[in-house]
Amino acid sequence: MKRLFIYALLVLLATQSLSALGQEENQTDAVTTITWWHPNSGLAGKAAEALVEEFNSTVGKEKHIQVQAVYQGKANDVLTKAKAILQSSITSDLPDLVQLDGAAVLDIRDNANLIAMEDLAKADNYDLAQIMEAARLSITYKEKMIAMPFNSSTILLYYNKTAFDEAGIAKAPRTLDELALVASKLKKTDDKGKVTRYGFANVPTTYELMVWLGQQNGLSYLTDYENGHTGNPTKVLFHENGTMVNFLTKWRALYATESLENLTSDLNGAFASGRVAMIVASTSNLTTIQSMVGDRFEFAVAPFPMVDEKATGGVNVGGGAIYALNNGSGNEGAAWEFVKFATSAKQQLVWHIATGYFPVNRDTYTLPEFEAHLQANPHYGVAIKQLLDSNPKLQGMWVPSAYQIYYALQSGILKMLTENLSPEQTSKALETEINSYFTEFLRMQK
């Protein structure tokens, strides 16, 4: 009887051990799934899919993490969907990661569900000095990096080199005065006087103005609190410091050459078709424009023109960043693993080549493959050199009603040109309108 009891006990212990081992194996094999909402489409969309597949089959497989990338429309659509959940009482439907542009910062910056990327980096002893300073500062609020720069870009001058050669123009313009002169030489008309090719096309928005105004007086901000990076903006500065009037004076002179087309959309198409000889656009458009132009003509890129000879030059970082959100799943560590992978030196090289966004990881720039890429594709090096030569404190604008301000600037400048208003009148009107958005925002915060 005693022998039978001992045998039964051994069987029970063995069964329990096997059960425990099975549970341990199941726990070890458990896969953590994280979601990433993004606005990447076209070439960037394909690159995002490839990035996720690479992670899932390598680091993700090793660490039992799977990323689900979900395209949620354009950047503003992604923000709208994320905001709807952030403002509700149930936040479990939030993605673990969301990719947003600068217009979203005020909507998410102070939200309790935001997990500062700098905190995740510190928990992993990750040295943020690996991230380019200008890119890191572009998403830093009150000296803390709240998201990880990812699809970072700057702005460039794209020009039709074939048209330049035909017109006998040897160099790309370096100032708006030079731009006006060159544009007038590139303009073409038919026998009836109809313009068949404009020299330049643009209606300035927030992005261009952050540079054209920001590069004046050494370093200027459009709003107080350093464009919103050290606190909520309360007023614009461009009227009282004269940077807007100076810019608008140059812009009116450009318009007076009748070689400027007031084009607000599809600038890439206008440039690729040959209807416009020069545009300014993001580095992220480089791969797309290259594809659109094909062998129709030779094009080149140059640094973004300065507003005048006194300007110090330099550009700010645009594009977007990846934010980590607390949805109650406890997936922060897994989400960080993917962010770290996506911004690693190797993956930033792949992302850069596929999309045109510049690498945010400093180590990418020392990779032999990157140096070979620049030698074969010198256009890409222009943007990078321009950024490295820029003041990293020249940063984008974080303001409430960002999209209304975007269109206010465009419509205000168009009104100046079409109704022949003075730069002073236009600058003052823009100051009044944009300050009203700030006043309303601050009133709602009380």
Give helix 332-342 / helix 42-57 axis angle, nearest 10°: 120
Query: In sequence order, what are the beta bridge partners of 69?
Result: 36
Provide Rg for the chain, Cα atoms.
Answer: 26
* CATH 3.40.190.10 segments of the chain: 32-153+318-366, 155-314+394-445
Give helix 402-418 / helix 243-256 axis angle, nearest 10°: 50
pLDDT of res. 199: 98
> Which regions in the chain score pLDDT beneath 50?
1-2, 4-6, 9-11, 13-15, 17-18, 21-22, 24-25
Place of tokens 């992978």: 341
Contact yes or no for 322/147 (Cβ under 8 A): yes
The CATH classification number of 32-153+318-366 equals 3.40.190.10
The Cα 39–Cα 47 span in angstroms is 12
pLDDT of res. 398: 93
What's the pLDDT tens digit per position in 33-66?
999 999 999 989 999 999 999 999 999 999 999 9
pLDDT of res. 1: 46
The Cα 248–Cα 94 span in angstroms is 43
**CATH number of 155-314+394-445: 3.90.550.10, 3.40.190.10, 3.40.50.970, 3.40.50.2300?**
3.40.190.10
What's the pLDDT tens digit per position in 263-292?
999 999 999 999 999 999 998 888 889 899
pTM tops 0.75, yes or no: yes
The Cα 260–Cα 204 span in angstroms is 12
The Cα 288–Cα 278 span in angstroms is 16
The Cα 425–Cα 428 span in angstroms is 5
pLDDT of res. 18: 45
Contact yes or no for 406/205 (Cβ under 8 A): yes
Place of tokens 């123009």: 169
pLDDT of res. 28: 56
